[in-house]
Amino acid sequence: MKFIKLYESFEDIDSICKKYGIYNYTINSDGTVDVDGSVYLNSKNLNKLPLKFGNVSGNFTCADNQLTSLEGGPQSVGGNFHCNHNQLTTLKFCPQSVGSDFYCSSNYLTMLEGCPQSVSGRFACNNNQLTSLEGCPRSVGGYFNCNYNELTTLEGGPQSVGREFYLTGNKLKDLYGFQEFFDGEIYYGGNQVAEILDLFNVGNKLGKVIDLLNEYGVIQQDGKLVILDRLEEVFYTLNLEVPEIKLKNYEVY
């Protein structure tokens, strides 16, 4: 009997499971493999996944390989899903249901299309080549880390983040797309917009500040212009003293 080109028989699947220390598994009639437990394929020098997985009740990690595709990856993971430190350019075939953390950092991703729409734990897509957050989860229960990408906008970003939001090392000129009234801590160093946020001197709890900057349309012309009286109005609204405002990265009107 034949299955997906990866193997020819149930015996082949058994052999592969034994080779990679996969236990408590069920081979389905279509050749997919369900695992009651975790699958650890990290640091195996893989350039493709060795099986076609169905549902994995525990963690699934295939980090630190040379994967260029997640084809064969599980449809659902009960615990963490880690595919970081590979050579992925797409998240096609990633699980659509993840019980906890989702890590896809340190790949060659330029977009996040294919992600699950909700991640109850942490979501890390840092150290890629992302130019957009379109396709990312709508809801993240833990932190959201998109440090060190090529982002110029947060449009398409998550609507809900339970903990910290990491934005360091991008090319953000404005903050449109930031989720409304975010109350967690925000780390934003290395972006053009940092010199505006630093004026407020309120630590990393900047959700309300960012919301007002966007609401009042402080930053205009694709991140080239700041309207000074609108910026001052944000300070007044927050009952903060207006500091001396000198901006190097924006024209001021």
Distance, CA of 101 to CA of 116 (rounded, Å): 11
Going by C-beta distance under 8 Å and a sequence separation of 6 or more, which residues neighbour residue 12? none
Each residue's pLDDT tens digit, 78-126: 999 999 999 999 999 999 999 999 999 999 999 999 999 999 999 999 9
pLDDT digits (tens, 9 = 90+) for 15-47: 999 999 999 999 998 999 999 999 999 999 999
Distance CA 115, CA 186 (A): 23
Query: Which residues, 6 or more positions from 129, have their beta carbon under 8 angstroms from its beta carbon?
Result: 108, 109, 110, 149, 150
CA angle in degrees (0–180, nearest 5) for 233-240-196: 65
- Give the full edge-to-edge strand order of the sheet including 251-252: 219-220, 225-226, 251-252
Query: What's the pLDDT tens digit per position in 194-244?
Result: 999 999 988 778 999 999 999 999 999 989 999 999 999 999 999 999 999
